[in-house]
Amino acid sequence: MNNLQDTLPARTMTTSPARRIVWPILGAISASHLLNDIMQSLLLALYPLLKGSFHLDFMQIGMITFTFQLTASVLQPLVGTVTDRHAMPWSLAVGMLCTFTGLTTLANADSFAQILLAAACVGMGSSIFHPEASRIARMASGGQHGLAQSVFQVGGNTGAAAGPLLAAWLVLPHGQHSIEWVALAALVGFVLALGIGRWYAEQHRVAKQQKPASQSSPLSPRLVRLTLALLVALMFSKFFYLSSINNYLMFYLQHRFQVSNQLAQYHLFAFLASVALGTLLGGPIGDRIGRRRVIWISLFGIAPFTLAMPYAGLNGSLWLSMIIGFMLASAFPAMVVYAQELLPGRTGAVSGLFFGLAFGLAGMGAALLGKVADLWGIDALYRACSFLPVIGFLAFWLPDLRQHAPPHTPATTPA
């Protein structure tokens, strides 16, 4: 456990995972992700409270999300690149402390500027947490990378689903200062992160004693660039549409069906719970049938449902949103592992890039879609966004990594 900041080639770390699935570590990393994303989603779920208390318009609501997503998206690839070269076992604990600072600031904020500062701190905590947490999940996978990625991500999605419930049951009845009680979850996450850091440090020590295995992408550099461009386009489709649901579903339901704030929170919870279930199943299914197949079925297959949603009644909207959430979420674990296998030996950079893109695109979507809602109304926003999943047809052009793998290094998991 000495010299933990020594330079460590990424190839060593990604080719020296535990030989079997290390369930205690996967469970701990998933629980940490749950706590981390509870605190993130709480920020989104409090928008009606913040909008009323601080007299915000939709553009300002979008700017809160944009600030949070920007700090996360810009820093995550940088954190991932650095940790590919230097092991940082205690970075997860640092990320939890940043999130704790953000929530305590939000609990005591008395101006829009302080809300933006709190959002930036929460985003910074995410940017530190996600790349290394994704790497640790892969190291503990025992070779079942899709399953491990799903277990890791489902913790985050479960936390995201729990955020609106905490808002409805705790914060909305008791006011802004009750956010401090939720901030205690960051301290629990801090303790978990210390335990995970100790295991990671030991893996780092063992990996330094092993000879790095040579790894290279199964595709040519040009095809790698084209494939990454396709993945970015698919990420745009996925996360812009998700942003329309995460940030504006409650306002849409209140506007169109005149439901209560609490009922709207329950609808958002149902959507986020379906996202968690889709995330849990997406990785193992990708391990079995191929990640490329999961990606195009998940992203393009939801188009009929999204196109129908703006014209459905209240109950129909609930069921459609759950189907959409389930299918859409199953793509992301497959996309992350697909990209990690596309660029072997760069797990941190790839994880940081994709989680950063997820936050960045969602943040851009929140700001731009908020402006659309201000100008043309929330009904027009949902009709326009319903066409975004059509972009998912681009997934048909993703190369099958198994077919491009060299004969002497066959792919161990379907891609």
CATH code of residue 355:
1.20.1250.20
Q: What is residue 306's predicted lDDT score, i.e. its pLDDT?
A: 93
For residues 300 and 392, the answer to whether their CB atoms sit within 8 Å is yes
Q: What is residue 10's predicted lDDT score, i.e. its pLDDT?
A: 37
Residue 40, C-beta contacts closer than 8 angstroms, at least 6 positions apart: 68, 99, 122, 126, 159, 160, 163
The per-type count for the chain, helices as H runs and strands as E runs, is: 18, 0
Q: What is residue 222's predicted lDDT score, i.e. its pLDDT?
A: 85
Query: Using CA of residue 266, residue 268, residue 272, residue 277, what is the dihedral sign?
Result: positive
Q: What is residue 410's predicted lDDT score, i.e. its pLDDT?
A: 43
212 assigned to some structural domain: no
232 assigned to some structural domain: yes
1 assigned to some structural domain: no
Q: What is residue 240's predicted lDDT score, i.e. its pLDDT?
A: 86
Residue 205, C-beta contacts closer than 8 angstroms, at least 6 positions apart: 1
Which residue bears the tokens 């230097």?
86
Q: What is residue 411's predicted lDDT score, i.e. its pLDDT?
A: 42
Euclidean distance between CA atoms 131 and 125, whole angstroms? 11
* 232: containing domain: 13-207+219-402
Residue 295, C-beta contacts closer than 8 angstroms, at least 6 positions apart: 234, 331, 334, 335, 338, 395, 398
Name the nearest CA neighbour of 46 among 157, 175, 159: 175
269 assigned to some structural domain: yes
What single letter denotes the amino acid at residue 62? Answer: G
What is the distance, to the nearest Å, from the Cα of residue 76 to the centroid of all Cα atoms in its chain? Answer: 12
Q: What is residue 71's predicted lDDT score, i.e. its pLDDT?
A: 82
What is the distance, to the nearest Å, from the Cα of residue 62 to the centroid of all Cα atoms in its chain? Answer: 18
Q: Residue 123 corresponds to which tokens in the numbers above?
A: 């985003």
Which residues of the chain fall short of a pLDDT of 70?
1-19, 204-218, 359-360, 363, 402-415
Tens-place pLDDT, residues 283-331: 888 778 888 888 888 888 899 999 999 999 999 999 999 999 999 888 8
3 assigned to some structural domain: no
Q: Which residues pair with 86 in a beta bridge?
A: 7
DSSP SS3 for 387 = coil
245 assigned to some structural domain: yes
Q: What is residue 323's predicted lDDT score, i.e. its pLDDT?
A: 93
DSSP 412: S
30 assigned to some structural domain: yes
DSSP 213: P
Question: What total of structural domains would you count in the chain?
Answer: 1
Q: What is residue 304's predicted lDDT score, i.e. its pLDDT?
A: 93
389 assigned to some structural domain: yes
Predicted TM-score of the model (pTM):
0.68
Q: What is residue 217's predicted lDDT score, i.e. its pLDDT?
A: 66
